Chains A and B, each alone.
Chain A
Amino acid sequence: SQQGEEDPQALSIQEGENATMNCSYKTSINNLQWYRQNSGRGLVHLILIRSNEREKHSGRLRVTLDTSKKSSSLLITASRAADTASYFCATGTGANSKLTFGKGITLSVRP
């Protein structure tokens, strides 16, 4: 069964706006990761946040994690047309554990 559930399932915004995507999960985790997938391609690792962290930044990306609510959010600031892609959250239970992916969010950034 899917561990992560993202919302919204699809998001369309104007270039320059911020995009916020949410992910909820059900079981205890060691880490939560966000990935981007361009159409028909593999996944690109964006950012990882460990269960003892609450917020992390990487360039235009900001990730938060609330383990009490079992949820995470990914914020992309000042979006660009090139950010158009599908975004997935994935949870891991350990350093070498398998990842369980959510259903994904399709982000469209209009130029």
Chain B
Amino acid sequence: GAVVSQHPSRVICKSGTSVKIECRSLDFQATTMFWYRQFPKQSLMLMATSNEGSKATYEQGVEKDKFLINHASLTLSTLTVTSAHPEDSSFYICSARGESNYGYTFGSGTRLTVV
């Protein structure tokens, strides 16, 4: 079945530094990937839609200069949190459309802690 690999699973970084999160579709080509943010015990909030070879489409209220998204190939999308602050600490999840039935395959998520 469709598998999406997301790395790292956990990362701790100092305030002011940048962190890159990778999302790879392992056995299928994903022309579209989605990036979500999830706060504890809350739902997933879509941050942006990433299309291969073009600029990402950001949701209202999401700072595109802070959350840089690159989708350079059909199997890889990256999210870079720039100049991270403690309020950026969250659980970030990527997803890509699966191969059948419109279902989306999710990565296992990245727990970001900014200290």
Contact = CB atoms under 8 A, between A and B. Distances in A.
Interface of A: 2, 31, 33, 35, 40-45, 48, 50, 88, 92, 95-96, 98-104, 106
Contacts of B108: 41-42
25 contacts: A2-B43, A31-B102, A33-B102, A35-B106, A40-B91, A41-B108, A42-B108, A42-B109, A43-B93, A44-B106, A45-B98, A45-B105, A48-B101, A48-B102, A50-B102, A95-B97, A99-B34, A99-B46, A99-B95, A100-B46, A101-B36, A101-B43, A103-B43, A104-B42, A106-B41
| 3 A-B pairs with least C-beta separation | A45-B103, A42-B106, A43-B106
Q: Dominant SS at the A interface?
A: strand
Given A48-B102, A98-B49, A102-B43, A40 B109 contact: yes
Given A45-B104, A48-B102, A103 B49 contact: no
A96 B6 contact: no
Given A92-B102, A99-B104, A42 B6 contact: yes
Per DSSP, are chain B's interface residues mostly helix, strand or loop, or mixed?
strand
A101 B42 CA distance: 10
Contacts of A48: 101-103
B43 A41 contact: no
Interface residues of B toward A: which range? 20 to 34
Given A33-B102, A100-B46, A104-B43, A42 B111 contact: no
Contact of B46 (A31, A35, A98): A98
Contacts of B6: 42
Interface string B67-101: 00000000000000000000000010101011001
B102 A42 contact: no
A88 B42 CA distance: 10
A50 B95 CA distance: 20
B102 A103 contact: no
